[in-house]
Amino acid sequence: MKKKKPGKIEKAYTFLLVKLIGNFRPRRATNMQYKFFKKYGMKFNGKPNYISSKIWFDGTDYSLISIGKEVTMSSYIRVLTHDWSPHTIAKAFDIPQEKPLGILSTIEIGDFSFVGTGTILMPGCKIGKGCIIGAGTVVRGNIPDFSIYIGSPGKIVGDSRKYLKSKFPEVDVPGFNE
């Protein structure tokens, strides 16, 4: 069931409050965003670890966005669930459009994943469990569990379990074989 869209005043008030509080009490701002977005259809598999108050979520339809438990999302991330470029391109060919040609697609972020600052999540991307998405990465397609994914365009450069083990050798990482 699709939840209703927030009113403009409620949305503006909430986002302004989140931005103000986010500068001084980031965890509190994360909790406020969690409650707001959940109320309007965003799917959560448990509470996120941290969602920066400086993220832009596509407001076309929040129900297209799923965020796993204990996810960390840094600042200045863009989460896009739409692509209206076909509408513009079709006009170049005088293709009649009863309604605009556009694509709406889901975004999924798996449990315990980290999304770095300045990342762009493209429509249809699916980030697996335990992934590290590097700062400034453009994410599209399916990213397998425990991947380290960086770049523009993004590519898999490693395994987050191996990274964790290399930084903290004393930690037993289940499912990791050297």
Residue 16 lies in a domain: yes
For position 145, which CATH number holds?
2.160.10.10
Residue 178 lies in a domain: no
Q: What share of the chain in percent tops pLDDT 90?
A: 62
Mean pLDDT (10-residue bins), the chain, 178 residues: 65 71 78 86 95 89 96 97 92 88 95 98 97 97 98 96 93 77
Residue 78 in tokens: 């863009």
Q: If 0-12 CB within 10 Å is exposed, 13-18 middle and 19+ buried, where does residue 46 land?
A: exposed
CA–CA separation, 176 and 178 (whole Å): 6
Domain that holds residue 60: 8-167
Residues pairing with 51 in the sheet: 73
- Model pTM score: 0.88
Residue 1 lies in a domain: no
